[in-house]
Structure 1
Amino acid sequence: MKDTTAVVTGAAGGIGAAVAHALAARGATLALLDRDAERLDATAARLRQAGHRATAYPLDVTSSTEVDTVIDAVETQLGPVERLVNAAGVLRTGTVTAFTDEDWQTTFAVNTTGVFHVSRAVVRKMTPRRRGALVTIASNAATAARMDMAAYAASKAAASMFTKCLGLESAAHGIRCNIVAPGSTDTPMLTSLWADEDAARTASVEGVPHAFRVGIPLARVASPQNVADAVLFLLSDEAAHITMHHLTVDGGAALGA
């Protein structure tokens, strides 16, 4: 990946930041996208301080106009985009009967429509060059039902199938599209659900029977780096004959679903 340009959404923290650091270590020039401008600038600054090439592009992935403008700028300023990671996401929880219209719409606007906007903009650039690879960060909730997570699970399932369909359409142009589906990962998204960190971490590992949730057979919560390693593989030349694949990284929590 040396001297190639990679776009990472949701790069201000969590899995997105871990992916950015992993790509930088492989020599990629990074375009970092996120709506949290302050944290995004901090991520870019840390990468530059470590000697890597990273530029922050604050934007809202729910705006197709902003996305198209930023991708044009990336190509002009940094070069042709050859890798994309869709890591931007939000989590709104609650029962279906109590869920608000705004929570539902925001969840899909970021987790599904945002993936569409960015993927469309980047694949339009990749197509005439007949090369490129992208990975969408989904969730094991896309294939295993979860209490209080209907909107999140549905949005990730939609993003997963969108990515597979895009992979089918783009295969003739040499573009590969894959999915990485994490389970419980030590990020702010997960820890925001924990009222008591020790008890909640134990529940994640051991399971919650009354919520119909099994534990994690490997007996630990994933690190963002665990997920980034899977992403890096699917973006790499080692995965040159893999497309439309759904790789679950959850320590066995979804029992292979």
Structure 2
Amino acid sequence: MSERWGAGIEGRVALVTGAARGIGAAVVDGLVRAGATVAAVDVDPDVHLRSAERVTPFTADVGDPAAVARVVDDVERTLGPIGIGVSVAGVLRPAAVCDTTDEDWAATFAVNATGVFHVLRAVARRMVPRGAGVLVTVGSNASGVPRTGMGAYAASKAAATMLTRCLGLELAGSGIRCNVVSPGSTDTDMQRLLWTDGNGAEAVVSGSPDQFRVGIPLGRIADPADIADAVLFLASDRARHITMQNLFVDGGATLRA
């Protein structure tokens, strides 16, 4: 359970993007159980429905640098110094590379790569003078292995992954750790968009030779809580000597290519 990762999380302020549903919502829940006060950020106003004890909702588009700067300022002014930043917000517009439109490419990178940059930069600038903090980016196992029909998504996640690791190198001397969690197929609304028939989950687990997918060796699709637990571990003091790493949480689906 997420309570195991309370060391170094309890009493801290955490900012989570993409907090309204799926992995982001699971991260929010896990941080709250571990004792953090959470700023739940999402472009969807429905995030306000998630307001609860120790959870304060904020609405912002991570693709807008001014909006991100404003939210970070609001969070620190109302909740206190941000000690943990988790970038989960992401979009998926599946298409073969030759069929990907300029609009879909730009929209994908605006959130998955540039949006992560906006959040990392804004939060890191606050953490550096304090000499402490943890930043975690939720990427994708697609950043480490080619996927058919997911060129823009995979490329954007690869960009966010390397950006996070480079930032980790730059901030190590300031005592700030930066890591990536790369999920595989996880039971979220985004994953279900890829299912074309009633056997979607079974097909993902079994794999697809036509798409060059090996399936999931552990035999199950991840639950969002599985990803959240990895995020909480990296955010906790149990991972105090871990930085610039990319933790794949995919049931072995990429064979750690």
Letter paired with 2:143: A
1:42 has 2:49 as partner: yes
Aligned to 2:242: 242
Aligned to 2:12: 4
**TM-superposed deviation, 1:2:** 1.5
Taking the TM superposition and a 5 Å limit, the aligned residue runs for 1:1-257 are: 1-38=9-46, 40-44=47-51, 48=52, 52-197=53-198, 199-257=199-257
Deviations 1:165-210 (A, max 9, x none): 000000000000000000000000001111324x111110000001
How many pairs align? 249
Deviations 1:88-137 (A, max 9, x none): 00001111111100000000000000000011000000000000001100
Tell me how far apart the structure 2 counterparts of residues 101 and 66 of structure 1 sit (CA, whole Å): 24
Tell me how far apart the structure 1 counterparts of residues 49 and 197 of structure 2 sit (CA, whole Å): 28
The TM-score normalised by the length of structure 2 is: 0.96
Tell me how far apart the structure 1 counterparts of residues 207 and 54 of structure 2 sit (CA, whole Å): 41
Identity %: 56
**TM-superposed deviation, 1:21:** 0.1
More RCO (CA 8 Å, sep 6+): 2
Letter paired with 1:206: S
Tell me how far apart the structure 2 counterparts of residues 246 and 147 of structure 1 sit (CA, whole Å): 22
Tell me how far apart the structure 2 counterparts of residues 156 and 42 of structure 1 sit (CA, whole Å): 28
The question of whether the paired residues in 2 share the 8 Å contact of 1:13 and 1:43 is answered with no
Helix, strand or coil at the partner of 1:213: coil
Tell me how far apart the structure 1 counterparts of residues 141 and 12 of structure 2 sit (CA, whole Å): 30
Tell me how far apart the structure 2 counterparts of residues 169 and 194 of structure 1 sit (CA, whole Å): 40
Deviations 1:49-98 (A, max 9, x none): xxx31111100000000100110110000000000100000001111111
**Residue ranges of structure 2 left out of the alignment (5+ in a row):** 1-8
Helix, strand or coil at the partner of 1:85: strand
Tell me how far apart the structure 1 counterparts of residues 226 and 49 of structure 2 sit (CA, whole Å): 22
Tell me how far apart the structure 1 counterparts of residues 97 and 233 of structure 2 sit (CA, whole Å): 36
Tell me how far apart the structure 1 counterparts of residues 115 and 130 of structure 2 sit (CA, whole Å): 24
Deviations 1:130-161 (A, max 9, x none): 00001100000000100000000000000000
The TM-score normalised by the length of structure 1 is: 0.96
Helix, strand or coil at the partner of 2:113: helix
**TM-superposed deviation, 1:41:** 1.1
Letter paired with 1:58: T
Tell me how far apart the structure 2 counterparts of residues 36 and 25 of structure 1 sit (CA, whole Å): 23
The question of whether the paired residues in 2 share the 8 Å contact of 1:107 and 1:152 is answered with yes
Helix, strand or coil at the partner of 1:126: helix
